[in-house]
Amino acid sequence: EPYGLSESALARALATIREHRVDDADLYFQGTRHEGWSLEEGIVKAGSF
């Protein structure tokens, strides 16, 4: 389940769209990732991700 999105959650979202009999719908997915590194005299002292 990438980014916490399960197949069943996606199916529920699509079912909700179908229930309202809309002609068009847009779904947007976004993911982010952050990394941080702390160097001291060229040596990695800490990292986070």
Residue of 6, 1, 2 whose CA lies nearest to 33: 2
Please tell me the total count of domains within the chain: 1
pTM over 0.85: no
Range of the domain at 9: 2-48
Cα distances (Å, whole numbers) of residue 5 to 1, 14, 27, 31, 38: 5, 13, 13, 11, 32
pLDDT in tens, the chain (49 residues): 667 889 999 999 999 999 998 899 998 988 888 999 999 999 999 999 8
Bridge partners of 37, per DSSP, are: 47
